[in-house]
Amino acid sequence: MTRRTILLAPGLGYLALFLVVPCLIIFAYSLFERGTYGGIVYDVTLEKYQRSFSSLFARIFLDSARIAGTASVVALLIGYPAAYALAQQPKNRQMALLVLVMLPFWSNYLIRTYAWIVLLNNEGLINRSLEAAGVIEAPLPLLY
């Protein structure tokens, strides 16, 4: 084995385990019938695949592919020039500009963190609701 193959093995193994194997399991289940109460009846049928080639499903698939392609093109048209512009800046300004690019993502994280604090603190929505319902007597230490 070459060194390249050895270095690729962990990443490819991870992809195989968490991407390919679940997809194969779902594909195998798709060949079977759904039972009356949600179980699986192990009778292999291709009816679902025949139905998927109808004009309705084809239109939905093509619309989804168009939306995904448009989003990818827009991301490439915005992302590559922005990355190139950042890379062309002097080294002492690159980190500050990268922080400005990342700042909206941090604000989203900060807002979600404060939302959890509002829900989970001693005076929060969850403790107040449980106390009002008579489930608990004193606030639970859900935070920190």
Cα distances from 134 to residues 127, 137, 138, in angstroms, run: 11, 7, 10
What is the pTM (predicted TM-score) of this model? 0.49
The per-residue pLDDT for range 58-110, each reduced to its tens digit, is 899 899 999 999 999 999 999 999 999 999 999 999 999 999 999 988 888 89
Specify the pairing of strand 33-34 against strand 40-41: antiparallel
Cα distances from 32 to residues 7, 45, 84, in angstroms, run: 38, 6, 50
Question: Could you tell me which residues are beta bridge partners of residue 4?
Answer: none
Task: Return d(Cα 97, Cα 85) in angstroms, integer.
Answer: 10
